[in-house]
Chain A
Amino acid sequence: MTPATTVGDWAGDRLAHEAVVFDRDDQVRARVLPYVREGLERGESMVVVASDTVRGIIADEFGSATDEFAVFADSIDHWAGGWPETLAANQEGMTSLIEAGLPWRRIGEPVWMALPGGDVWSRYEAIANEAFSDYPYYSLCLHDTRRLSPELVDNALRTHPLLWDGTEVTPSPHYQSTEAFLRSQEPLWSRAPDDREGSTVTRAGEARHLVHAGMPPSASHVLTGDVVLAVHELVVNAITAAGAAEVTHWRENGAVVWEVSDDGLGMHETAAGYTPPRHEQERGRGLWIARTLADEATVRPYGPGTAVRLWFALHDAPGDTTGHPA
């Protein structure tokens, strides 16, 4: 009979992603300490990015052994001010562990989800299940209901395939596919207005001129530069896939919306471009950059091809009543 472990049937060869929801420190202690102890006994690297409270619990138990952890850092310091930077740093931080070729254990407590703009992190919890599926680590994600809103806790239950039920690891009954979760979080893909402006372009330079001409005068130089680059990268992808791109734009709830579509056989998964390309990959940065520059971005099939819609919030624009896209 196989002895019970703290990580279910995880064999250390791919990602396991578990949510722990708690509201008392003794619950954390009960889950985290055996998990760490077992990892150390197995010689697995340990990555801890958590609140003072959780790190204190671990430090009280393991003392100077935490000095040997691959990472033992404060969550709030880990937040780089925005999701793209934090995600890129996370990915970069895994490089040496991947290169070592051995399994590792992670404890993450994304307290930054409670910060302004931090709620979008739920989407990356969903994305991780696919993007990092072949990485050999166990990710234990702690969610303190005293810190996080019910909505964020609900998101955690929907984005983690595994759940700690207080005594053992079980499949989460709330887990949703990455695509279903993302669609529930992204702006609705409403019908584009009939009076939208735009045209078909066959050269990326044309699209840049189109953006310069189509941005409202109130838009800052920096915002226009961001839109130019984001639309340009989508157009380059579209031209590569189909030889031409249809570029349209309109205003919506205080934002400018730019849509780039093509009828080529390209990548149109909802999750496309949510994570930066891996270090060794030469290509795949265009859509990632477009997502990092936009306030919102969605990808949908468009006939046999792809349509990507980007929202950029206009601040203090005349006639607009809200500052953020729907």
Chain B
Amino acid sequence: MSGVRGLDTAVGLGRGEHGCWVYDGAEGVRPLLAAYLAEGMRLRERLLYVGAGPREVLVDELTDLPGRDALLREGVLGVCCFAELEVPVPTVDGVRAEPPAGTLPVVGPRLPAEAFRRFATDAVAAGHVGLRLALDVTTLLAEGAITPRLVDAELAVATAFSVDHATALCLVDRSRAGSGARVTARLHRIQHLEGVEPTFALVPTPGVVHLVGEVDTTTADDLGRALAAYADATTGPLALDLLDLDFIDVAATRALALFERRMAAVGRSVSFAGVGPAAATTLRAFALNGEGQP
């Protein structure tokens, strides 16, 4: 299948790639971070680790990274809590302002889409070949459900990639996130999740969400959950791009149809672009209208 692949080790991600690694328990994250960031160090990238915090906990999780303290001192390695990056929801006279369609938060605090872009450009300006980002997004899930904060984080990473110097690995702890860890992995084209085949991805980018790979009756529920999370994090019309979709069956298309119906019930439209032969038959069966091959 094209567009979605598994990740066997935490090294080997190329610049411009954005993956997700699902680990099990707090002990699992240390060797993972060490391997991933050490590779970036060898490649002369600037390193940034972002998590819930507090800061000393994040630093402690980097214990296995060789030369951690020196890297921190020299500014090659940075650690950052989500709270430092997030901004409150804009308000007018104490009332939450209505956000522009498609981009801004419904509930806050929220991570601005440009949050990591400045880090990437600063890294290159300082002589690094790029930015290597590790984000532990576990706390951005609530009781196993993906929150708008998590979708924001994914959109912020996608925006950082517009400068083409970033590599990102999102981390999520299955022992705390439950089935939400699997759905989080589905938000990435590159996935590591023990025992789960990386068959499809629903990749959020600003303005459009891309459905990639093969989605069928066994993954239709994950698709529905991922779509609902993206919808909760945005406003206005939703564009779904199917250009890299290799296969979709009736059950998964039913998930799209239910989603479209729920969106319509709250006055939001869903449009389908890049509809090829793989999707045309089942979309037609549910009267979902695509724009065809762009």
Q: Are B281 and A236 in contact (CB under 8 A)?
A: no
Q: Inside 8 A of B281's CB, which chain A residues have their CB?
A: 226, 229, 289, 292-293
What is the distance, in angstroms, from A156's C-beta to the closest C-beta of chain B? Answer: 29
Give the complex CA separation of A61 and B214 in angstroms: 58
- Chain A residues within an 8 Å CB radius of B285: 276, 285, 288-289
Residues 240-294 of B contacting A (Cβ, < 8 Å): 247, 249-251, 254, 277-278, 281-282, 285-286
Q: Determine whether the beta carbon of B282 is less than 8 Å from that of A229.
A: yes
Are B282 and A289 within 8 A (Cβ)? yes
CB-CB under 8 A for A225 and B277, given A205-B218, A236-B217? yes
The residues in A between 226 and 279 inclusive whose CB is less than 8 angstroms from any CB of B are 226, 228-229, 232-233, 236, 276
Kindly state whether residue A286 has any CB partner on chain B within 8 Å.
Answer: yes
| Chain A residues closer than 8 Å to B278, beta-carbon distance | 225
A174 at the binding interface (Cβ < 8 Å)? no
Query: A60 interface residue, CB < 8 Å from B?
Result: no
User: Is the pair A228, B247 in contact by a Cβ cutoff of 8 Å?
Assistant: yes
Which residues of A sit under 8 angstroms from B282, Cβ to Cβ? 229, 285, 289
B144 to chain A, nearest CB (A): 25
B197 — nearest CB in chain A belongs to which residue? A205
- Over the window 54-69 of chain A, the binary record of Cβ atoms lying under 8 Å from chain B Cβ atoms (1 yes, 0 no) is 0000000000000000
**A292 to B249 Cα, complex, angstroms:** 14
Considering the complex, give the chain B residue whose CB is closest to the CB of A283.
Answer: B254
Report the separation of the CA atoms of residues A232 and B251 in the bound assembly, to the nearest whole angstrom: 11
Query: Known contacts being A204-B216, A276-B285, A289-B285, is A222 close to B249, with CB within 8 Å?
Result: no
Complex: how many Å from CA A126 to CA B214? Answer: 37
With an 8 A cutoff between CB atoms, is B159 at the interface?
no
Q: Which residues of chain A have C-beta atoms less than 8 A from B214's C-beta?
A: 205, 208
* A147 proximity list for chain B (CB < 8 A): none
Q: Assuming A236-B217, A276-B285, is B247 touching A208 (CB within 8 A)?
A: yes
Counting contact residues on chain B (CB < 8 A from A), the size range is 10 to 19
Asked if A9 is an interface residue, CB under 8 A from chain B, the answer is no
A153 CB, nearest partner CB in chain B, Å = 33
Q: Is the CB of B250 within 8 A of A233?
A: yes
User: In the assembled complex, which residues on chain B have CB atoms less than 8 Å from the CB atom of A232?
Assistant: 216, 247, 249
Q: How far is the CA of A226 from the CA of B218 in the complex (A)?
A: 20
A203 contacts the other chain (CB 8 A): yes
Bound: A208/B278 CA distance, A: 13
Docked complex Cα distance between A68 and B282 (Å): 35
Which residue of chain A has its CB nearest to the CB of B253?
A285
Q: Which residue of A lies closest to B216 (CB)?
A: A204
A205 engages B251 (CB within 8 Å)? no
Provide the bound-state CA to CA distance between A236 and B282, in Å.
15
Once bound together, how far apart are the Cα atoms of A101 and B254, in whole Å? 28
Taken together as a complex, chains A and B put the C-alpha atoms of A282 and B257 apart, in Å, by 10
Q: Is the CB of B218 within 8 A of A229?
A: no
Asked whether B249 lies within 8 Å of A204 as measured between CB atoms, the reply is: yes
CA distance A226 to B249 in the complex (A): 11
From the candidates A229, A282, A293, name the one contacting B254 in the complex (CB within 8 A).
Answer: A282
Question: Measured between alpha carbons, how far is A228 from B216 in the docked complex, in Å?
Answer: 12
Please measure, in the bound complex, the distance between the C-alpha atom of A204 and the C-alpha atom of B217, giving whole angstroms. Answer: 8
Docked CA distance A222–B286 (Å):
21
B residues near A293, Cβ cutoff 8 Å: 281
B residues 3-24 touching A (CB-CB < 8 Å): none
Query: Measuring CB to CB, which residues of chain B are less than 8 angstroms from any residue of chain A?
Result: 197, 199, 214, 216-218, 247, 249-251, 254, 277-278, 281-282, 285-286
Cβ contacts A to B, 28 pairs, < 8 Å: A204-B217, A204-B218, A205-B197, A205-B218, A208-B247, A221-B277, A225-B277, A225-B278, A228-B247, A229-B247, A229-B249, A229-B281, A232-B216, A232-B249, A233-B250, A236-B249, A236-B250, A236-B251, A276-B285, A285-B250, A285-B285, A285-B286, A288-B285, A289-B281, A289-B282, A289-B285, A292-B281, A293-B281
Apart from the given pairs A205-B197, A229-B249, A232-B249, 6 other A-B contacts in the complex at a CB distance below 8 Å = A204-B216, A205-B214, A208-B214, A221-B277, A285-B285, A293-B281
CB within 8 Å of B: which residues of A? 203-205, 208, 221-222, 225-226, 228-229, 232-233, 236, 276, 282, 285-286, 288-289, 292-293
Closest A-B pairs by Cβ, 5 of them: A285-B250, A285-B285, A286-B250, A236-B217, A225-B277
